[in-house]
Amino acid sequence: MAAHHNKPSAPNLTGFLPMTRAEMDARGWDQLDVLIITGDAYVDHPSFGAAMIGRVLELEGYRVGIVAQPDWKNIESIQVMGAPRLFCGVTAGNLDSMVSNYTAARHKRKEDVYSEDGTPGKRPNHAAVVYSQMAQRAFPGVPIVLGGMEASMRRVAHYDYWEDKLRPSILADTKADILVYGMGEVAAREIAKRLRDGNKDLSGIRGTALFLGAKATKAADFGDAIILSSWDDMQKDKNLILRLTKIVEAQQTPYCGKRLVQMHGSRAVLMEPPGFPLNTPEMDALFELPFMRQVHWTYKGKVPGFATIKDSIIVSRGCAGGCTFCGLGFHQGKFLSSRSVDSVTKEIGKLTESDTFRGTVSDLGGPTANLYACDNGHVDACKKCHRPSCLWPTICPHFGINEDQQLDLLRSTREVEGVKHVFVQSGIRMDVALRTPTYLKELVQNHVSGHMKVAPEHMDPSVLRRMRKPAGDFPAFMEKFHEESAAAGKEQYLVPYFMSSFPGCTEKEMGAVETFLKEEKWNLQQVQDFIPLPMTGSAAMYVTGLDLNTEQPIPVARNAGDRERQKRALHPNPDQRMRGRSLDTVD
């Protein structure tokens, strides 16, 4: 990366996907096939969605360019490389733009970790909507393909916490030609292929949604689909969001999920079932794409979100937990995909050749580190199942845990030449870890950097039930962690995440957490103040004040004073020296 060398070097005009005319010229291109507009700075790394989709399409022979964080007040900022031949892809970036821009207290953030030097304000609110509208004005007639986390989580009518109101499907606001939800590599290839072949019919692609016109809606056959509460009805009765959320979640399976239809006036949003999870060879192939693993050469500063993960390795995707506060199940899906050990060690080998690598792999992770090599969706019972979680209320008997391969991963990565340490910083499932004692021992004794993140989230059973988190595992896990640390002769600490202001939680329920922290003489490094993310079960409970399962009334902390008092319960030992670092708030 030029910014890290003592003397400036000439930019690599053909290494990255083009962001400039000069890079197009260096490749001999007069026009792009696909232009991707993203709300993140352009980092050519598999952790960044725009880079991943761009590289996948490049492999298929398409000419792909990227416009990163355009000035949304200036339409020319997305026209620097001209109109693309096939389509314009739009993503708000790795996070929903409202999460990027605002805290749980609805204050503007002081930093955007996906921008150069962490500078805030580089992406607009509702970035996917703004960029789509810009692209339609800039490139009339060019199809708009919407994707990324913001599109995934707002594909049906949903609650927006920062505006404190229900919003229609993001398709109604963007008028995009098609929305891709989920990870999108397979759908993006199919869309590009159809458009390249002159086929403008984008229907029937798994993991996508279309906003049908009034005529097409009238002519469509929805006989095999589930009809959701309409946008008009939801505006009249906000409680309908509870049932809608449960239906969408239950159909979030590629094996037995049905098509979903939601009317917006006379027009239908039609969602196809999710795409299938990638198998191991398909996952391995993604991470062998020719990523530069650097920020684009036009940036002079660092991108904090990349600086944090530049020496980390993604080993899996998907999350089987189904926690009601988390969007991963709706975006990456609950069915797991894992890379081979060989693929991971090969990537670490490449990492060791980087002039910024200092011998430490900072993380072997994914949504949940120790769900690596676990199996779900592999037996007939899984293929008929609509359960949102494979791990709650108990671990499903069909959920396959592969401790041998987990151990192979840890041991093989430590042996790569040039590697001194391999740490696991991604969160782990404590219930799964307690079932894999040898892996847990290996993890604690060899792969903890001094502090290990765990997420008990709460200590009150009723709140944990609404979160879909297991109760009772944390004390057993703590004991095992300290036992194995002592056996290795290491002084190591747990960094637990607890959440305040979750629906159904009052100061009384927070008392269970406060008591636990006092008994442990613990001051937290980070505090999570609950944010109701669009389309999640917790957002439905927040909006309606009803329990997701029983549909009975529950208390909800809505005003700033109530939220602040709950947050304070997570910091009960102000005079106690911390096990960790200073208090921080995570939103």
Query: Distances in Å between the alpha carbon of 443 and those of 173, 191, 293, 345?
Result: 47, 42, 27, 17
DSSP state of 371: G
pLDDT of 267 > 90? The answer is yes
- Which of 446, 478, 512 is the C-terminal boundary of a domain? 446
pLDDT of 587 > 70? The answer is no
pTM (predicted TM-score) = 0.94
On whether both 531 and 568 belong to a single domain, the answer is yes
Q: What is the CATH number of the domain that holds 153?
A: 3.40.50.2300
Look at residue 561 and tell me if it is in a domain: yes
Look at residue 232 and tell me if it is in a domain: no
Q: What is the CATH number of the domain that holds 579?
A: 3.30.750.200
**pLDDT of res. 582:** 30
On whether both 19 and 167 belong to a single domain, the answer is yes
Domain, as residue range, for 132? 2-208
Look at residue 233 and tell me if it is in a domain: no
Q: What is the mean pLDDT of residues 452-469?
A: 95
- Which of 446, 481, 504 is the C-terminal boundary of a domain? 446
Backbone φ/ψ region at 576: left (φ over 0), alpha (ψ -120 to 50), beta = beta
**pLDDT of res. 573:** 61
DSSP H helices in 524-559: 537-544
Look at residue 469 and tell me if it is in a domain: yes
Count of residues making up the chain: 587
CA distance 247 to 250: 5
Look at residue 374 and tell me if it is in a domain: yes
On whether both 138 and 192 belong to a single domain, the answer is yes
On whether both 404 and 547 belong to a single domain, the answer is no
pLDDT of 575 > 60? The answer is no
Which of residues 524 and 324 earns the better pLDDT score? 324
**pLDDT of res. 499:** 95
In the chain, % helix, strand, coil (3-state, to 5) comes to: 35, 15, 50
CA distance 259 to 269: 10
Dump pLDDT digits (tens) for 108-129.
999 999 999 999 999 999 999 9
On whether both 90 and 143 belong to a single domain, the answer is yes
DSSP H helices in 435-582: 437-446, 461-467, 473-487, 507-520, 537-544, 560-568
- Which of 208, 227, 255 is the C-terminal boundary of a domain? 208
Q: What is the mean pLDDT of residues 293-322?
A: 95
Query: Distances in Å between the alpha carbon of 536 and those of 216, 253, 416, 548?
Result: 30, 16, 40, 10
Dump pLDDT digits (tens) for 169-203.
999 999 999 999 999 999 999 999 999 999 999 99
Which of residues 9 and 533 earns the better pLDDT score? 533
Number of domains, the chain: 3
Read off the pLDDT band of 434 (50, 70, 90). very high
The whole-chain average pLDDT of the chain stands at 94
When computed from its CA atoms, the radius of gyration of the chain, rounded to whole angstroms, is 24
On whether both 480 and 565 belong to a single domain, the answer is yes
On whether both 26 and 174 belong to a single domain, the answer is yes
Look at residue 250 and tell me if it is in a domain: no
Q: What is the CATH number of the domain that holds 380?
A: 3.30.750.210
**pLDDT of res. 427:** 86
Dump pLDDT digits (tens) for 380-422.
999 999 999 999 999 999 999 999 999 999 999 999 999 999 9
CA atoms within 13 A on the CB side of 62: 30
**pLDDT of res. 10:** 72
**pLDDT of res. 4:** 43
Q: What is the mean pLDDT of residues 551-563?
A: 95
**pLDDT of res. 9:** 63
**pLDDT of res. 577:** 36
On whether both 476 and 440 belong to a single domain, the answer is no
On whether both 367 and 498 belong to a single domain, the answer is no
Dump pLDDT digits (tens) for 82-103.
999 999 999 999 999 999 999 9
Backbone φ/ψ region at 574: left (φ over 0), alpha (ψ -120 to 50), beta = alpha
On whether both 356 and 498 belong to a single domain, the answer is no
Dump pLDDT digits (tens) for 194-243.
999 999 999 999 999 999 999 999 999 999 999 999 999 999 999 999 99
**pLDDT of res. 2:** 40
Look at residue 436 and tell me if it is in a domain: yes
CA distance 537 to 223: 27
Dump pLDDT digits (tens) for 481-528.
999 999 999 999 998 899 999 999 999 999 999 999 989 888 776 678
Task: Give the pairing type, strands 493-500 and 421-422.
Answer: unpaired
Tokens standing for 326? 């988390």
Dump pLDDT digits (tens) for 136-151.
999 999 999 999 999 9
Dump pLDDT digits (tens) for 42-68.
999 999 999 999 999 999 999 999 999
On whether both 396 and 471 belong to a single domain, the answer is no
Look at residue 277 and tell me if it is in a domain: no
On whether both 355 and 500 belong to a single domain, the answer is no
